[in-house]
Amino acid sequence: MHLGFKQKIIVSAGLFLGASLFIFGMLSFINLKQDLRQEIEQTQLAKAHALKLEIDSWFDAQKLVLETTAEDIAHLPEFTDVTMKPYLQTAFKKTKAAVAYMGVEESGLMIYSDQTKQKEGYDPRKRPWYIKAKAEGKSVVTDVYTDATTGQPTISIATPVFVNGVFTGVVSNDVYLTQVIEKINTKKFEGGYAFATDAMGKRNVHPDPKLIGKVLYDANESLKHLELLVKNSPEGIYDYQASDGKDKVLVFNKLENSWIIFVTIDKDVAFKAIDHMFITLTISGNILLGLSLILLWFILNTQFKPLERLNDVIKNLSSNDGDLTQRLTIHSRDELGKMSQNINLFIDKIHTIITTAKTNSAENASVAHELSISAIDVGRRAEEEALIVTKTTTEATSLKAYLRESRHSAESSKNELHEVTQSLKKVEENVSNLSSLLQNTAHNEIELANKLTLVSDIPMK
């Protein structure tokens, strides 16, 4: 398909704008995605932290009641059922516990807030809650266990009792985790939920009862590295893949009693806003690109009108009856206006040149007529000269025959001359011989004369 210059500009601009918007959109999307991810992670951390504060506050309230009870009991003159029960009943009511009780270090006595009697052979000093509180010397929380009577998940909170700095026993209560479970389960939301584990990762509270008591880190391979992160950090964020194959984000926060609060959420839900943002950016980019191309098309149509006018003028000029009096209308002083002005000047020059050419053409026609007459005269003279040349050629032919005869005569004369030359050479040779003979004769005569002179001189002497 053939594209015009304007269409090429629109296509090029469209590709450039599309590439620019794509690059800008991707960079913006990446930055926004990072910011939004951080915001989502901070939101999840805030949820875990808020839940931590709620549970810590609940535990602190439980501990505070028991610590107050331990201080009051420490001022009693003696530890008996009658003296301690009122304080244990107060603790029972304030903590809304299943039961409150105290174990005495010296005697192994066990006193309850209700009418429960110590079983024969039962020694509180051997119980985990007692041993842990005594060892740590502060309020402690036991692991979750199931109450034998009610079957509810329960914990024991224990506080040591000191009299004048001497350990004398432990005040404790059994508290159902109903409130804690409610607090954690109320954090269930779309695509996510909260749960709690102990320091070893064993789930104490979880929306799925089947998972309670199971270690989180053993759920699948993707959670193996979570244990190390939890051990080394008070809070954090972890990406993992659940057993159902869904990608999830998990945040955690540690409680004061070494429990760990976890809040997990599906990435598809957590980052739904990112997907919406990507779709929004894509649609916005396409709309912006379309509007830009429409605006560009309108601008180019406006700006290309002088060029279209120029094309019409040039097309008219290229026709047989081209009108050189046409001129482009100049509406602006930009490059197109300057180009239109220069083209008008060019048309003026062409018009002037053609007008001059027409004038010169008339003059040339007159000169051509004169030249035609001269050419006829020249032709006539050429015919006469041709006759002369013909005559000259005939005479030359006769001359050529005469010269041939002369050549033959010359060759005969040459032979005769050669014979004469040979005769002259012989004569010259004879003359030379005669000259030599004469010279010899003269010499002999001179010698003879000299001899005769000598002979004539002898008588005289």
Q: Over its length of 461 residues, how does the chain's per-residue pLDDT go in tens digits?
A: 566 666 777 778 778 877 887 787 778 778 877 887 788 788 888 888 888 888 888 888 999 999 999 999 999 988 888 999 999 999 999 988 889 999 999 999 999 998 889 888 999 999 999 999 999 999 998 887 877 777 788 889 999 999 999 999 999 999 888 878 888 877 777 888 899 888 888 888 888 888 888 999 888 888 888 989 999 998 999 998 888 888 899 999 988 777 898 999 888 887 777 777 778 878 887 888 788 878 878 887 777 777 777 777 777 766 656 666 666 677 667 666 777 778 778 877 877 887 888 788 778 778 778 887 877 877 788 787 778 878 877 877 877 777 777 778 767 767 777 776 787 787 678 767 777 776 777 676 677 667 666 655 555 44
- Residue 457 has which token pair? 């001189």
Report the alpha-carbon distance of residue 253 to residue 352 in Å, rounded.
94
Q: What separation in angstroms does the CA of 137 have from each of 161, 205, 376, 454?
A: 9, 27, 146, 192
pLDDT of residue 461: 43
Report the alpha-carbon distance of residue 318 to residue 311 in Å, rounded.
10
pLDDT of residue 123: 93
Report the alpha-carbon distance of residue 297 to residue 290 in Å, rounded.
10
pLDDT of residue 125: 94
pLDDT of residue 460: 47
Report the alpha-carbon distance of residue 344 to residue 97 in Å, rounded.
104
- With a CB cutoff of 8 Å and minimum separation 6, the contacts of 217 are 201, 223, 224, 226, 227
> Would strands 192-197 and 166-176 be described as parallel, antiparallel, or unpaired?
unpaired
pLDDT of residue 320: 55
